[in-house]
Chains A and B, each alone.
Chain A
Amino acid sequence: MEFEIVIGLEVHAQLKTNTKIFCGCTTSFGAAPNSHTCPVCLGMPGVLPVLNKQVVDYSIRMALATNCEINRTNQFARKNYFYPDLPKGYQVSQFDLPIAEHGWVKIEVEDESKKIGLTRIHMEEDAGKLVHDEREPKSYVDLNRTAVPLIEIVSEPDLRSPEEAVAYLKKIHSILRYLDICDGNMQEGSFRCDANISLRPHGQKELGTRTELKNMNSFRNVQRALEYEIRRQRDLLLEGEEVVQATLLWDPDRNVTSSMRSKEEAHDYRYFPDPDLVPIVIDEEWIETARASLPELPGQRKQRFMEELGLPAYDAEVLTAAKELADYFEAALLGYDNAKKLSNWIMTELMREFKGGGPEDIAACKVSPANLAALLTMVQKGTISGKIAKTVFSDMMESGKEAEAIVKEKNLSQMSDEGDLVRIVQEIMADNPEQVEQFRDGKTKVMGFFVGQLMKKTKGQANPQMANELFQKELTK
């Protein structure tokens, strides 16, 4: 029996505000435990939250970028549960009145475009962290991360494969980074993803029993965890067994999922409107100001690359996925006007040589966009060959030097002086009368031999096209 895969994703994105959501503490990482705290985020008796307006502003931007409807009046609610990393015993979140609902984004999988629905976006506060002592049965609580603002972006169960799920996730990631409201770091947990997944026989309307997958801290882990869970559920269903609703943790080292809790242990969070926070009222002016501040988004940029630069859809998609890469591309384009050749270079040479974490780390690349443009311009002018350019590029990646400096230093510019080349061509012909004879007898294949000799003598610096022409001329004299 064939099954249809149904996946919905919940993304938690930490917002890049300077201060926490309900107090003035900094949100920066890496400080000594509990040093970025105050009575408010520590949940001390009698303290009260004051909403950081920037959180709302960022959320509105995300809502607009994902085609959501913004709830003009929305409200914080308390999600009640006990855990030592949750100092108030409840998390301030949103429940029945989230800031935004009913949005969508477009994803591309195997050259097909698909709209994925967004159920909702809501604002909430992050929890702290527990640090366990390996040597003794003790746990420490670090509340630096407590009350760092998050938005949760919940998709409709519209995703039909792990590939679609990853494409969707990358799209959300990309939009957040284009908006510059989340740093997107999955390892540090500023961009986190949970997946709901179920299988159903093709044609069946109602959804199968779902499981929830957690702890997937890279795109690759999302793909692998989903693939694993699909296999596991399929095997169960094929053997006539039932999928048990549960929360599963992905173990990236062992490539398996393990059960965290089953439905019987599910929390009753007892949501109710937070009486300490008044409803958030968003007027048209606020929305329009946010709309006006929106940067060009990945979809729009891709469209522009295709229409104005004539790039193929594939190139445009790859180049615009990360804002930094697209910025790099456009900066290089200022010094070099062949968009397609530049795109080829970036997608092949640059991405191959570049050892950053991903396309968004391109800013750390030693070859500046201007230097790349200068290198490609030298190829275009015939100063160096395309082949030499690749060597020069490797050198640039290593040393960070400018292309011209390397070419000059290593004397790599092509010999395009006809007089010099003619002299060498004549020497080669004089040294190899046998091959000259063969050519003149119609064995034009020996041309390769002549060009090879020329390259050898010029240490590869001869302009190959010119060499070809010169031999042709001299041999047929």
Chain B
Amino acid sequence: MELYNLPIHSLEKMLTEGDISSVELTAAVFDRIDQVEGKISAYITLDRENAQLAAKRADEKIAAGEGGGLCGIPLSIKDAICTKGLKTTGGSKILEPFVPPYDATVIAKLKEQGAVILGKVSMDEFAMGSSNENCAFGIPKNPWNLEHICGGSSGGSAASVAASECIASLGSDTGGSVRQPASHCSVVGLKPTYGRVSRFGLLAFASSLDQIGPLSKDVRDSAIMLNAIGGYDPKDSTSINKEMPDYTAALTDGLQGMKIGIPKEYFTDALDPEVRAAVDNGIKLLQGAGGEVVDLSLPHTEYGVAAYYIIAPAEASSNLARYDGVKYGFREKESESLAEMYSKTRSQGFGDEVKRRIIIGTYALSSGYYDAYYKKASQVRTLIVEDYQKAFSQCDILVSPVTPGPAWKLGEKIADPLSMYLSDVLTISTNLAGLPGISVPCGFSSKGLPIGFQIQASHFEEEKLFKAAYNLEQQLDLQPKYPTL
């Protein structure tokens, strides 16, 4: 077995027992990157030199008996997460030259533990998109079929994990941006409870929805990653001061006593039959493990997309106002006046999808429209929260597909943003309600494209997610594990 194909928990053991060094492991992953990156285009920036230094330091730490966890493990990081001294573009031309003078809290935590950061991976510009085609620096391909999208917005993260160009990755999920690409690339993607993981240093798209989450080769790695990045951060007022359990402790066999909610609104005729079949099979396996199925309803699900595409652009229109050419990043230099500089900088610096959402958001917040759009959307959001509260009084977890169908072909939906938006219907409500959700691989379509299984739980009940996901993974033992590249 190649080192780069192994999960964190195997490598951790090999590292601490001295079977391999982090320097070797890191070199092996870079070799893999050199081998396949030409096909995948997952990375925007590679940081070989610092990665090797970090690997050396990790080896010293391990030698001193301070290893374990993520120490010495090579990771890729979504380019929306600030890394001190390492270019952080957000997938946008407007931030192309930006080098943060600070680390995001999650990065500081990873470094503290001795993780090795390989580089920054591709994403839809400012995390706006579901296919990773909205990136100013190349479009990553689905490792399972290079003609298909890898999903978005954390497409580079999912592709780099699936193609073994890293051991695990950090992405961010605003409306499904971790779970959806994870589903399309047959990796595990976790969106933690809003407030579980610090947002400090994450380029803001929609502050009330954004949450950083890991993409990994399996469920245990996902739990290890959350152990590493979770917890209260005084630098993020929206992070919540709640005890961090050891999430790997939840990974036990058997689901006796667990009630599995099946929301009927997630199983409409719009689902691809192959997706439906794979998810139904997953549900059967959970039942087989001892879970008890409960049919229920989340009646406001259908309004989720509409509410989301008001709230997220509204917040984005304000969050992205700082990219004005004055202080950092790209500036159009030929302008004669301040207004012209603003206008040209932002027209040339942002891509179409970002501009589209800034315009939608600006409109939704405008005086005279606020009540009809933003306020209404916030009310819908409250209804969705209430739906979930009712549901979780009847069950422990909710299960569903992650996406209505497998990954589509590159370019297929790029001219039709609305159909792209609608593909987010199954993941968006989780963010609107601030809940945790996970995507676990559960099968392949007849064309060999991955299908994901989504599990949602109540606030701070990630342990239930992990337990159910782990049982599914163990029962299913899905093959193949890696794409042929």
Interface positions of A (Cβ within 8 A of B): 39, 42-51, 78, 80, 82, 84, 87-90, 141, 268, 270-272, 275-278
Contacts and interface: CB of A to CB of B under 8 A. Distances in A.
Contacts, number: 103
B125 interface: no
Interface in B319-369: 320-324, 326-328, 338, 342, 362, 365-367
26 contacts: A39-B100, A44-B102, A45-B90, A45-B100, A45-B322, A46-B82, A46-B200, A46-B204, A48-B236, A48-B237, A49-B237, A51-B237, A80-B321, A87-B322, A87-B326, A88-B322, A89-B318, A89-B320, A141-B326, A270-B317, A275-B206, A275-B315, A276-B204, A276-B207, A276-B237, A278-B237
B321 A89 contact: yes
B321 A82 contact: yes
B203 interface: yes
B18 interface: no
A84 B101 contact: no
Contacts of A89: 318, 320-322, 324
**Which of A44, A45, A46 neighbours the largest number of chain B CB atoms within 10 Å of its CB?**
A45
Contacts of B152: none
Contact of A45 (B82, B208, B237, B365): B82
B125 to A, nearest CB: 13
Interface of B: 80-82, 88, 90, 95, 98, 100-102, 104, 199-204, 206-208, 234-238, 314-315, 317-318, 320-324, 326-328, 338, 342, 362, 365-367, 370, 374
Main secondary structure of the interface of B (DSSP, over half): loop
A63 B88 CA distance: 44
Contacts of A78: 318
B98 A87 contact: no
A177 to B, nearest CB: 31
A82 B338 CA distance: 10
B88 A45 contact: yes
B322 to A, nearest CB: 5
Contact of B366 (A45, A87, A270, A278): A270
**Which of A44, A48, A49, A82 neighbours the largest number of chain B CB atoms within 10 Å of its CB?**
A48
A278 B434 CA distance: 14
Given A50-B237, A87-B327, A272-B365, A44 B100 contact: yes
Contacts of A45: 82, 88, 90, 95, 98, 100, 203-204, 322-323, 328
Given A47-B201, A49-B237, A278-B237, A272 B318 contact: yes
B374 A272 contact: yes
Query: Which 8 pairs between the two chains have the least Cβ-Cβ distance?
Result: A89-B321, A275-B207, A275-B208, A270-B365, A46-B201, A43-B322, A46-B82, A45-B203
Main secondary structure of the interface of A (DSSP, over half): loop
A47 B200 contact: yes
A276 B321 contact: no
A44 B208 CA distance: 18
A272 B370 contact: yes
A90 B365 CA distance: 13
B234 A88 contact: no
A110 B370 CA distance: 47
Contacts of B95: 45
Nearest to B200: A48
A46 B199 CA distance: 8
B204 A270 contact: no
Given A82-B342, A270-B367, A276 B238 contact: yes
A82 B340 CA distance: 12
B235 A50 contact: yes
A153 to B, nearest CB: 24
A89 B200 CA distance: 19
A350 B326 CA distance: 52
B237 A80 contact: no
A278 B194 CA distance: 13
A46 B207 contact: no
Nearest to B362: A270
A131 B367 CA distance: 32
Nearest to B320: A89
A82 B346 CA distance: 12
Given A46-B203, A272-B374, A278 B238 contact: yes
A44 B238 CA distance: 18
